């Protein structure tokens, strides 16, 4: 006795095997990606975390160096002599800090360079302010001298007038 629907059974069985293979393939693919993909993602996140940590540590170092320079710039107000030496020392420190900026590992190098330029401009402004203050003090001294000379001229004019009166009599 032969089965009447043998072709339909074989085609249904083959279709079942095909669907079973596709389902198993999808399951294995999902399991593969659920295990393999997070590892790669973790590697990328670790590299990014390392980069952020490096930048954070560099920012701390950069800020501490700028604080030292800030103290030096503040001491410019108190110096009477050696102003040029202190200014050159600050310039050398700023150049050192600028040369220490990593070229490839920081996201925003222009921020660091702008801070250095700002400190340079601050130092220049303090120098200009000190020169203006010195000029103002010199002008005040000259005005005081002028007043003294005017008083002396008045006294001499009074003495001259007195001596003329005495000569007439």
- Domain span at 64: 8-128
Which residues, 6+ apart, have CB-to-CB distance to 18 below 8 Å? none
How far is C-alpha 57 from the chain's CA centre?
A: 14
Q: How confident is the model at residue 145 (pLDDT cuts 50, 70, 90)?
A: very high
Predicted pLDDT at 1: 65
Residue 46 lies in a domain: yes
Task: State pLDDT tens for residues 43-71.
Answer: 889 999 998 898 889 889 999 999 999 88
Residue 156 lies in a domain: no
Task: State pLDDT tens for residues 18-45.
Answer: 999 999 999 999 888 877 777 778 888 9
Listed residue (126, 58, 65, 127) closest to 92, CA to CA = 65
Residue 140 lies in a domain: no
Predicted pLDDT at 151: 95
Q: Are 58 and 108 in contact (CB under 8 A)?
A: no
Element at 63 (helix H, strand E): helix 6-75
Q: Does residue 105 surpass a pLDDT of 90?
A: no
DSSP 8-60: HHHHHHHHHHHHHHHHHHHHHHHHHHHHHHHHHHHHHHHHHHHHHHHHHHHHH
* Domain total of the chain: 1
Residue 27 lies in a domain: yes
For the record, the structure tokens of 63 come out as: 């800020």
């Amino acid at each position: 006795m032969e089965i009447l629907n043998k072709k339909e059974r074989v085609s249904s069985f083959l279709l079942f095997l095909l669907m079973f293979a596709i389902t198993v393939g999808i399951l294995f693919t999902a399991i593969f990606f659920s295990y393999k993909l997070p590892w790669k993602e973790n590697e990328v996140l670790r590299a990014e975390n390392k980069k952020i940590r490096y930048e954070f540590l560099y920012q701390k170092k950069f800020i501490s160096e700028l604080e030292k320079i800030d103290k030096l710039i503040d001491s410019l107000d108190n110096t009477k002599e050696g102003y040029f030496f202190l200014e050159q020392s600050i310039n050398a420190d700023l150049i050192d800090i600028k040369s220490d900026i990593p070229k490839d590992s920081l996201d925003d190098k222009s921020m660091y360079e702008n801070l250095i330029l700002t400190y340079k401009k601050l130092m220049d402004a303090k120098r200009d302010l000190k020169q203006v203050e010195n000029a103002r003090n010199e002008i005040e001294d000259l005005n005081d001298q002028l007043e003294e000379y005017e008083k002396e001229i008045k006294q001499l004019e009074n003495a001259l007038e007195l001596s003329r009166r005495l000569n007439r009599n």
